[in-house]
Amino acid sequence: MSNAMLQQFTLRRYHLSKSQAPHMGYVPSIKLSRNLELAKVGIWLDIVQNNRVVVVCKMPETVIRALSKGAGASLILSTVQAETFKLLCLALKVQDEPESPFAASMPKLMPEEKELLCHVLSSGSFALHCVNELNHAVLSISCTLPEQEARAAADALARSDHWLLTPESAPAMGGRDFMRVADLALNEFAKYIYRKSDAPIPADSPVASHFPLILEVWKSIEIFEISPTLAAGPFHIEDSKEGGKLERGLQTCLDEVFPGSTFVSPAVIESSKTRELTDVLGFDDGFVCLVEAKALAVLTVDRGRTSARRAASVQKDIKKGLGQLKGGAGNVRAGTPLLAADGMPIEIPNRETSIVHAIVLLSEMYHAVDWKAVAKEIVEVTENHRSETMFHVIDLSELKSIAARCRDGEHFSNRLLQRWCRIKERGTAYIRMITLPDEVLEALGDSEDGTPS
């Protein structure tokens, strides 16, 4: 199904539900849809029906589930000095865990973004639409700001002289310079985001505000996951089977690369007995992809668990997944008979010579994990394996971003190879490929596709 057809399908569902629900489903503008496709995490302002301004935040579904379960949130903004530029930065902070809460932050550079943010602050309330890794708006929330403080921030923002990206100002900052300056600004902004509540606000910032939000979660909507040859659903954000939900999202991603040749829970036949080969299998004539999905539970665990416990759980899953994938890759190479979940045989062409990518898929690249140790293990298991098999650890957001921009299995394989080499070079598995929004690239006169981070 093409992107245009998918958009028409979404719009039809939106118009059908418009008269049936007290809160209407969110459909992003065409401009924002493109940015959502490129970004792993981010926060934007958008205009919807009746010229209402809304806040849109793309974040891991684990964080969205925490919001649905009652986690608090704050809206944070500040102007930040980075070299000779003063940039406006905006963030949404979610108290999904006590020690290291999640935050989505971005610089706001376009003149219209300043105007929209002033409007949100002046009104004292807004709708927050939470978008997951597959770009589905899976949860919406009514948010109320502290009225007097928000209006004061709106007045300060209106008077602010921070740098804005216009045709006249663009020559001052090229694409590569922009990435460096934006990174410096966000690093400085992070100090404000994670400062202690009694710490002073930045003295050199004319705009610096941290607003705790009063949240009213809307009734969750039905979501259908659709790829070129798959359609599944409906799903809700409160689905308790979090592992199964991750596997379905994974298959939707891989089906964009291997349309019609992806299988959930394929079986391998050994000595007249069957057992699961891997969670999801995808392939074409020259490439095979084996994936073990490891979901980070949110709905069934205590939100107060420590970062160390969460990290230990993720690292245990990674180690287990790599072990499972070594066996699965061996079965693919050995020509062992394979069956789909419905019992039909699976025939992988050129399985003895195809490049195999063995992936441990996580719900999110949890920051507290020892990613240097993970990188070392990925490199060692790849270099010590007997066949041409490359091992990876990645999350759904990154996989979706890579798969959505690949023409075929070869292109997908090359992107994974580049990512693996970057991990070996840097000695850490905690990396991202950052892509700039189209309007920023156009304004800067830069056509660069992506930058490793």
CATH number for the domain harbouring residue 365: 3.40.91
d(CA 341, CA 355): 24
Whether 452 maps to a domain, the answer reads no
Residues 180 and 317 in one domain: no
Whether 136 maps to a domain, the answer reads yes
Residues 57 and 147 in one domain: yes
Residues 188 and 271 in one domain: no
Whether 453 maps to a domain, the answer reads no
d(CA 295, CA 361): 8
Residues 283 and 176 in one domain: no
Q: Mind listing the pLDDT tens digit for each residue in 217-239? A: 998 777 777 766 666 667 777 77
Residues 215 and 258 in one domain: no
Question: In a structure prediction context, what are the per-residue pLDDT tens digits for the chain, which is 453 residues long?
Answer: 444 433 333 333 333 333 333 456 788 888 898 888 878 899 999 999 888 999 999 999 889 999 999 999 999 999 999 988 999 999 999 999 888 899 999 999 999 999 999 999 999 999 999 999 888 899 999 999 999 999 999 999 999 999 998 888 888 876 667 888 988 999 999 988 988 765 666 666 768 899 999 999 998 777 777 766 666 667 777 776 666 778 888 888 898 899 989 999 999 988 778 899 999 999 999 999 999 999 776 545 566 778 888 889 999 999 999 999 999 999 999 889 999 988 999 999 999 899 999 999 998 888 889 999 999 999 999 998 877 899 999 998 889 888 887 889 999 999 999 999 999 999 999 987 555 555 555 555 554 444 444
Residues 181 and 246 in one domain: no
Whether 110 maps to a domain, the answer reads yes
Write down which residue in 181, 201, 220 finishes a domain: 220
Residues 326 and 191 in one domain: no
Please name the helix (run of DSSP H) or strand (run of DSSP E) that holds residue 78, with its range, or none: strand 73-82
Q: Which residues of 139-170 are buried (b: 16+ CB within 10 A; e: fewer)?
A: bbbebebeeeebeebbebbeebebbbbeeeeb
**Tokens 């919807």 sit at which residue?**
48
Residues 211 and 245 in one domain: no
Residues 122 and 145 in one domain: yes
368 exposed, middle or buried (CB, 10 Å; 0-12, 13-18, 19+)? middle
Write down which residue in 162, 186, 220 finishes a domain: 220
Domain that holds residue 288: 225-434
Whether 441 maps to a domain, the answer reads no
Write down which residue in 201, 220, 239 finishes a domain: 220
Whether 25 maps to a domain, the answer reads yes
Domains contained in the chain, number: 2
